[in-house]
Amino acid sequence: MPIIEFTSGKLTREVKDKLINQLTEISVEITGIPKHLFFVTINEKPDEDMAVGGISVEKIKEELAKQK
């Protein structure tokens, strides 16, 4: 059973539904594995638990908000 894992910040129910559907569909198209065999997980992480270039996403968002 193929497993697709997607990790990001907070997502809406609508976005999660689209991700589940589209990630599954493209994976079926590419691999030829039947749709009903795919298992998809979405892992939401708080901004303070993720970082880019050694800076938390929370701090990056704060800096971007100041620039607006």
Model confidence pLDDT, tens digit, residues 9-54: 999 999 999 999 999 999 999 999 999 999 999 999 999 999 999 9
DSSP lists the bridge partners of residue 52 as 55
Name the residue among 7, 66, 50, 12 with its Cα closest to residue 58.
50
- The whole-number pLDDT of residue 9 equals 92
Give 56's pLDDT tier (boundaries 50, 70, 90).
Answer: very high
- The whole-number pLDDT of residue 25 equals 98
Give 68's pLDDT tier (boundaries 50, 70, 90).
Answer: confident
Tokens of 60: 């990056």
